[in-house]
Amino acid sequence: MGKKLFVGNVPYNVTEDQLKEVFSEAGEVESVAIITDKMTGRPRGFVFVEMTTEEGAQKAIETLDGKEVDGRALNVNEAKPREDRPAGDRGGFGGRDRGGY
C-alpha cells in the first residue's frame, strides 16, 4: 500500500496532471486529490498526493519540500490520520453553546 502526503502552499491554478508530473520525479504516483472549498468549489491551496511506495513518498518529501511551482514553494509532509470529531462539535460561530441571556 502507498503512502499519503500532505502538500501545502499549492498554487490555486495547478492541475492534477501538473502535480502528478512533479511528484513522478520521486516515484510512481497513485493519486492526487485537490481539496476544494465546499461553498465556492475553488481550490483551498493544499492537496493530498498518494505515492505507490514508502520509498517514493520519502524521496518526494526530501526532494520536493521547498520546490517552487508557479512561484510558490511547496510544503511536503507525511499526511497525518484524520481525527474523528464528535458529530455535534462544529465549533466556531453558531456552535452548540450560543450563550446569551
pLDDT higher than 80, residue 92: no
d(CA 41, CA 50): 22
Global confidence as pTM: 0.79
pLDDT in tens, 10-68: 999 999 999 999 999 999 999 999 999 999 999 999 999 999 999 999 999 999 999 99
Task: Using the structure block, give the residue that is written with the C-alpha cell 462539535.
Answer: 89
d(CA 33, CA 10): 12
Task: Using the structure block, give the residue that is written with the C-alpha cell 512533479.
Answer: 22
Q: Which residues contact 58 (CB under 8 A, 6 or more apart)?
A: 3
pLDDT value at residue 83: 79
63 compared with 82, residue with greater pLDDT: 63
Q: Are residues 10 and 44 in contact, defined by beta-carbon separation less than 8 angstroms?
A: no
Q: Which domains are seen in the chain, by residue range?
A: 3-78 (3.30.70.330)
